[in-house]
Structure 1
């Protein structure tokens, strides 16, 4: 009997490790935010960190980052877009960067509410360009589908949402919860750090982006936020949204990375089937971090499509 009790205590201890580790991570503090660039909006679910880059009277472009790289990853491209005349709004999703961690599901409604409230906070009432990178492409795609009259054009960069996850960690999220769910909570922080180090943090990643990516992994709420997004919006397929864009004539530009190990090349063909009018281009030699490793090339593709009449 005593051995059963000891075994139960050991198992309970092992299962509690993820919760203990998460509790030991530091939450975002006022002192951390004191040196953050930009401002903070007090929205219904919590504080959202945001900043503007570019001329005050330019056409607005709103950028949505992925789940592992905060808004800092958009800064190199935002500066390029500012040179083109855009007024660029960057913001951190809840649980990332300098924004508050918000517990609970992270589905379409969760991400849409944050973006809608931030747009209202900043008084953005005219139509705007919406740009989504990686997992932010899912958020941008679904938001555009539900708020199409507000979107001037949709630009997707190395976007998730048109293929099934290929990693074991990601595939867990498509299955029913149970022992695998507990295993994922235990192993995910290690897997996420390895993913950032090997797949996202490339050799020519700007130092500011590298520091921002690493800082997140030490903050409370980052890993639970990612898992919530994987169970939520990242578990969906966005083919129907792209078909809707084709029917309604929303201008769409998709930019892919030629050496991307995360997004398979066949998504280019799938998007072409769903939306013949969508314009697509590839930055050859770039990995999944194309947003910040090849910001100039991405900006040139956007500029060429502006000149060619994307909208």
Structure 2
């Protein structure tokens, strides 16, 4: 059964609340699952249910500006290191070793934490993100985030939108697409909108798209890592994944029929994650 929780965290603009969705026994070994740029912790419901059935305590936060978490007053704060600060408060709350599953932005945050001295991450899954993101991929994200916020008349219209923009998630069932739509909606006057603060796009739109080189961070990461790559991904090029997999503590697997990023909702992908975290 899913529960919810929250932690107060300190930013340069003051204290804010970050909410999370929680599954499994409270005394289970924690797994932290962190979503991508425009997504929420509810993306991990299917994965969390399986891990919880195996005795794990699964914590799926909504990053600041998303889902049930507070929006920030200064759009310039919507940066990875702000999210790392909020997540560090969450990790301090548990104060024990954790496993980490990070999709895209959630993986970037995970790498930043995993590269620090004394970090609590035991094993880490990086879902379609790695040590280098090409400029063309960052330009695509910037162009997507530059689209004006849209008001949808109902959940069905929102679902249709998500099926288009998130087609690279892979071949999901109708029930899975509906779940993503229902957990992505917030009510506004005249209909519904996506759950996140539109201002999360401001820092991305404010600068020219550039490649993101995190190889310095990657060199500091020593725990076992599973890298999952969508076969058609532009965010995680095949050569970057291959370079990462050359490290002895790193496994890499590719998911056919997906781009950025595999949804981690079907039994095969969930099984990959569950087996790795159990290792």
State TM-score, norm by structure 1. Answer: 0.69
Q: Offset at 1:187?
A: 3.7
Kept in 2: contact 1:101–1:225 (CA 8 A): no
**What SS class does the counterpart of residue 32 from structure 2 fall into?**
strand
Find out whether 1:92 has 2:67 as its counterpart: no
**What SS class does the counterpart of residue 219 from structure 2 fall into?**
helix
Find out whether 1:241 has 2:207 as its counterpart: no
Q: For structure 1, which segment, 53-62 or 222-231, has the greater mean C-alpha deviation from structure 2 after superposition?
A: 222-231
**Selected match of 1:200 from 161, 166, 172:** 166
Q: For structure 1, which segment, 276-285 or 163-172, has the greater mean C-alpha deviation from structure 2 after superposition?
A: 163-172
Kept in 2: contact 1:256–1:281 (CA 8 A): yes
Kept in 2: contact 1:101–1:222 (CA 8 A): yes
Structure 1 residues 188, 271: closer, same or farther in 2, change over 3 A?
farther
Q: How many residues align?
A: 253
Q: Offset at 1:254?
A: 0.9
Structure 1 residues 42, 304: closer, same or farther in 2, change over 3 A?
closer
Determine the C-alpha separation between the residues in 1 that align with 2:137 and 2:273.
Answer: 31
Determine the C-alpha separation between the residues in 1 that align with 2:69 and 2:86.
Answer: 11
**What SS class does the counterpart of residue 115 from structure 2 fall into?**
helix
Find out whether 1:42 has 2:4 as its counterpart: no
Q: Offset at 1:158?
A: 1.6
Measured on the aligned residues, the alpha-carbon RMSD in Å equals 3.3
**Selected match of 1:265 from 238, 241, 244:** 238
Higher strand share: 2
Determine the C-alpha separation between the residues in 1 that align with 2:205 and 2:240.
Answer: 19
Q: How does 1:225-304 map to 2 (within 5 A)?
A: 225-228=200-203, 236-245=212-221, 249-260=222-233, 262-273=235-246, 275-294=247-266, 296-304=267-275
Determine the C-alpha separation between the residues in 2 that align with 1:61 and 1:140.
Answer: 12
Q: Deviations along 1:171-191, whole A, 9 cap, x unmatched?
A: 769xxxxxxxxxx9864547x
Kept in 1: contact 2:130–2:240 (CA 8 A): no
Q: Unpaired segments of 5 or more residues in structure 2?
A: 151-157
Match of 2:181 in 1: 210
Structure 1 residues 235, 92: closer, same or farther in 2, change over 3 A?
farther
Structure 1 residues 268, 188: closer, same or farther in 2, change over 3 A?
farther
Find out whether 1:68 has 2:41 as its counterpart: no
Q: For structure 1, which segment, 203-212 or 84-93, has the greater mean C-alpha deviation from structure 2 after superposition?
A: 203-212
Q: Deviations along 1:77-129, whole A, 9 cap, x unmatched?
A: 11121123211111100111111111223334311211112233xx3111111
Kept in 2: contact 1:135–1:160 (CA 8 A): no
Determine the C-alpha separation between the residues in 2 that align with 1:164 and 1:276.
Answer: 24
**What SS class does the counterpart of residue 267 from structure 1 fall into?**
helix
Q: Offset at 1:146?
A: 1.9
Find out whether 1:107 has 2:79 as its counterpart: yes
**What SS class does the counterpart of residue 113 from structure 1 fall into?**
helix
Match of 1:223 in 2: 198
**What SS class does the counterpart of residue 107 from structure 2 fall into?**
helix
State TM-score, norm by structure 2. Answer: 0.76
Q: Unpaired segments of 5 or more residues in structure 1?
A: 1-35, 174-183
Determine the C-alpha separation between the residues in 1 that align with 2:186 and 2:237.
Answer: 28
Kept in 2: contact 1:259–1:288 (CA 8 A): yes
Larger Rg: 1
Q: For structure 1, which segment, 124-133 or 264-273, has the greater mean C-alpha deviation from structure 2 after superposition?
A: 264-273
